[in-house]
Structure 1
């Protein structure tokens, strides 16, 4: 939910400018560091209830029939991070914002100034006593992480949604163990979202997947649904669900199957060879009511209507079913009336072409999907293809008109390069940096900021002769490179603060097994 269709992120530029950024960091999704020792997805020993006609059996439920929120099923997130979307609320654990009464869970957003932690609860630097974050509303966000984590099943909620400009209720899922990396590399399943119901004609609910690459390469795909007969989701209780099985996710409202997406239309650049990733790991449930933010505050151009608050999201029950036909894949229990939208999603990017045991990055020209980029603190790093003559022909020539710059070959997506043993290239130095006696080179490979091999020092070779370099992937991995998710296999520069005037030529940049 909080990783919405209009998610924004801020980059910091430094040496890490070569890597994919955004989406990660201290955002709403707990992708900083990920959870520690998450519970493993387990096949249920028995069904709480006998299998339904569909084959699904109930394995977990909260009917909210007690007098308090069940701490063995739900925990409160407490922070004022704005959900990664510039939302206006602080999430708190307060009786005025979330409670159980009359067999219903109430989540209430209230107009009141508040302070609290400015990091998400899973951040290793999270301090519950921190008050550096702030919001102009209070609300609640409950999750089952560590208490209920599942791979595949039917996830269902019966609820009455709030109304008014600035309201944003959601029932959704995030990964419990961020196997493929931070948001959205490990995926997000939005079972239900709605914004600003009963304002400006808003009467739809939305079901969406988030996946792809780190921001700004993140992708989403989904469908919206309108209740029949002109009904509005804010007027009464309705049932919202997804059925998630290996390679397929389906969305339902009141039993009406309205959308399907399959693994042909989702991917994570951290595992492009795995067609089911990232939706092949354990996820947990989240219930929350956000206020404002990059989606709801922008719909109708109305911002937030303070007069509409307080507002409540009321939840009758939440239930989790798993398929008795095949607990391991979730297949065999799907339900449909045949009248639904098959959303094609987004096809994964094409992996780089490899010939035999070799993957070429540059050979007289940049090889798709790689392109040449530069970054400098000031000045320029100029790149041109020139004819070096002799056995080399066209090569890349790099001229440093700066003391703080880098050049690199990068792809828009990250790829699994773990099967390769070396990164190799040929280098000729035409002109050394201004301070020639202490000149050296620095090499690096990146896997999305802040994931990197770190600096790998190289000796500056003799002038005017081609030198072959062979760098073991194992050593780059020891420095921190995730070889299964590399978007920048080649970053080169003379040593920092001693680059001005250097002219280098490179050719035959490749990975070999």
Structure 2
């Protein structure tokens, strides 16, 4: 077992004494100035270092060797919830000693098959109630974090551990922002130091290192690399060391000292700060250790569902250590370790903002980055491209098989439309809704993926049947009703009057935003 030993300095005092001799007229002077005193060496370690810096320049600033008889509450707290982790996972996290404990100089996190209930919200939700039992799971497990106990920007983050195995097992060593300065997940980023799913199932032996960033769902993106330990070694058979080195503009992944992947700032972004090349990975993050069960990712690897016979499973951690670079604590640069044999993952570039005096959303076809979507509380809102004949050619045709539905053009990213003046489109009514006497149209624009702003309903008169009508809606009027023009992802939402839609058929063309 690997154990960390703090270095100590022995203070030595060497005193040279000279014996006095006499006779023969010799005179042997005993001068106190001749007594040599070796002063203790000056400790030149930076104040935050717990030991002398290594040759690389990294020094230890935080560690848990799990050498006691209990989980150190000054370093870790337990999250307690049954939210499914946003991935349809099957576990409830708790602080039971049956699911996480320290023994034999190791931290044990154990997933057990048992029905459980608990809070249906994550611990940081302002409405979180520890007594809530609205959430449920079919397994119990543990998720520990250092939030507000150990938080860092830049450094080397290292764990030595033996991973669990079996269909549905999902251990992770990862990082989340302590303050969500760029917004909710994944706008403020996520650093996955180590993840693995379904080890030993069908020979599965990969581990993964990944970054999550981009825009709110569904504009979120991720990039990372899978890695196999040389020699056909399975991470569930023995202990291995997993680490990332994170510095300004660069993150590197390691297994047993082997640098296997790198990502750089030109391959990540957050739509909350597109002018900041290092965002979102330029803020303070904390560490998380957890063992999830099931969920979307394990269900898509090798098999589906959860193999109950594989559980209980244990994630066993020998130590967790955090180092920072004494060459430059502020940027973390100057201490990189690499052998040059790694995969450079180019990541993902942010979507390009529209340019020019006009943004064509639909002109016989849906133009990127926009797509057509619909929503209905029952029934359907159907969309197809049809030949309208005459001067129009191909147009979008929307059929309402519901009384409560909308159709809309939406992009995965938000765009700044504040320099634009109008949203314009042509519309023809082929079929009126059932109650033609009270028929009308409702339009709006939204920024759904950026704090949910909306213009609210903007009423339009229903045009005469089978007649093309041009609409020009001032963007400023939508802003005055609540739209944030600097972050629009849904510039076109259309529907007949709510509750009176069934049977309506609309055609649209030349949908655009103009200056």
Shift of 1:455: 1.6
Aligned partner of 1:406 in structure 2 is: 406
8 Å Cα contact 2:410-2:491 kept in structure 1: yes
Q: Helix, strand or coil for the counterpart of 2:209? A: strand
In the alignment, the residues of structure 2 paired with residue 495 and residue 460 of structure 1 have an alpha-carbon distance, to the nearest angstrom, of 10
Deviations 1:105-127 (A, max 9, x none): 22222333322223322334433
Shift of 1:281: 3.2
8 Å Cα contact 1:141-1:288 kept in structure 2: yes
Shift of 1:93: 0.4
Shift of 1:194: 2.4
Aligned partner of 2:176 in structure 1 is: 174
1:510 pairs, out of 506, 509, 513, with 513
Deviations 1:427-463 (A, max 9, x none): 6777987555674633222333972315232453887
Aligned partner of 2:195 in structure 1 is: 193
2:289 pairs, out of 264, 282, 287, with 287
Shift of 1:215: 4.5
8 Å Cα contact 1:257-1:336 kept in structure 2: yes
Shift of 1:164: 4.2
Deviates more, 1:156-165 or 1:334-343: 156-165
In the alignment, the residues of structure 2 paired with residue 397 and residue 196 of structure 1 have an alpha-carbon distance, to the nearest angstrom, of 45
Deviations 1:56-87 (A, max 9, x none): 33333323333322223211111223333343
Superposed CA RMSD: 3.7
What is the 5 A alignment of 1:259-298? 259-272=261-274, 274-296=276-298
8 Å Cα contact 1:189-1:209 kept in structure 2: yes
Deviations 1:206-229 (A, max 9, x none): 212233454555433322333334
In the alignment, the residues of structure 2 paired with residue 361 and residue 120 of structure 1 have an alpha-carbon distance, to the nearest angstrom, of 38
Deviates more, 1:227-236 or 1:154-163: 227-236
Aligned partner of 2:110 in structure 1 is: 108
Aligned partner of 2:158 in structure 1 is: 156
Q: Helix, strand or coil for the counterpart of 1:472? A: helix
> Rg larger in 1 or in 2?
2
In the alignment, the residues of structure 2 paired with residue 258 and residue 170 of structure 1 have an alpha-carbon distance, to the nearest angstrom, of 18
Aligned partner of 1:147 in structure 2 is: 149
Structure with more relative contact order (C-alpha pairs < 8 Å, separation 6 or more): 1
In the alignment, the residues of structure 1 paired with residue 335 and residue 102 of structure 2 have an alpha-carbon distance, to the nearest angstrom, of 32
Q: Helix, strand or coil for the counterpart of 2:319? A: strand
2:61 pairs, out of 59, 62, 84, with 59
In the alignment, the residues of structure 1 paired with residue 410 and residue 316 of structure 2 have an alpha-carbon distance, to the nearest angstrom, of 48
Q: Helix, strand or coil for the counterpart of 2:203? A: coil
Shift of 1:88: 3.1
1:472 pairs, out of 476, 481, 499, with 476
Aligned partner of 1:355 in structure 2 is: 356
Aligned partner of 1:443 in structure 2 is: 444
Closer, same or farther in 2 for the Cα pair 1:317/1:362, shift >3 Å? same
Q: Helix, strand or coil for the counterpart of 2:475? A: strand
Closer, same or farther in 2 for the Cα pair 1:305/1:401, shift >3 Å? closer
Closer, same or farther in 2 for the Cα pair 1:167/1:143, shift >3 Å? same
Task: List runs of 5+ in structure 2 lacking aligned partners.
Answer: 1-45
Q: Helix, strand or coil for the counterpart of 1:281? A: coil
Closer, same or farther in 2 for the Cα pair 1:437/1:288, shift >3 Å? closer
What is the 5 A alignment of 1:103-502? 103-272=105-274, 274-296=276-298, 299-301=301-303, 304-349=306-351, 351-355=352-356, 359-361=359-361, 367-376=367-376, 377-378=378-379, 380=381, 401=400, 403-411=403-411, 413-417=412-416, 419-420=418-419, 422-425=421-424, 434-435=435-436, 439=440, 441-448=442-449, 451-458=452-459, 460=461, 466=470, 468-472=472-476, 475=479, 479=482, 481=483, 483-499=485-501
Q: Helix, strand or coil for the counterpart of 1:354? A: coil
In the alignment, the residues of structure 2 paired with residue 269 and residue 166 of structure 1 have an alpha-carbon distance, to the nearest angstrom, of 33
Shift of 1:180: 4.3
Closer, same or farther in 2 for the Cα pair 1:141/1:498, shift >3 Å? same
Shift of 1:474: 7.8
In the alignment, the residues of structure 2 paired with residue 253 and residue 184 of structure 1 have an alpha-carbon distance, to the nearest angstrom, of 25
Closer, same or farther in 2 for the Cα pair 1:279/1:428, shift >3 Å? same
Q: Helix, strand or coil for the counterpart of 1:475? A: helix
Deviations 1:148-176 (A, max 9, x none): 33332211112222344443221011233
Q: Helix, strand or coil for the counterpart of 1:83? A: helix
Deviations 1:255-292 (A, max 9, x none): 11111122343344555555434333332211012233
In the alignment, the residues of structure 2 paired with residue 440 and residue 298 of structure 1 have an alpha-carbon distance, to the nearest angstrom, of 43
In the alignment, the residues of structure 2 paired with residue 446 and residue 462 of structure 1 have an alpha-carbon distance, to the nearest angstrom, of 27
In the alignment, the residues of structure 2 paired with residue 503 and residue 311 of structure 1 have an alpha-carbon distance, to the nearest angstrom, of 56
Shift of 1:311: 3.0
Aligned partner of 1:34 in structure 2 is: none
8 Å Cα contact 2:67-2:104 kept in structure 1: yes
In the alignment, the residues of structure 2 paired with residue 219 and residue 436 of structure 1 have an alpha-carbon distance, to the nearest angstrom, of 47
Deviations 1:308-361 (A, max 9, x none): 443322222222223333334333221101111222334444x243126x5454
Task: List runs of 5+ in structure 1 lacking aligned partners.
Answer: 1-43
Q: Helix, strand or coil for the counterpart of 2:73? A: coil
Q: Helix, strand or coil for the counterpart of 1:334? A: coil
Closer, same or farther in 2 for the Cα pair 1:323/1:116, shift >3 Å? same
Closer, same or farther in 2 for the Cα pair 1:474/1:276, shift >3 Å? farther
Closer, same or farther in 2 for the Cα pair 1:45/1:379, shift >3 Å? same
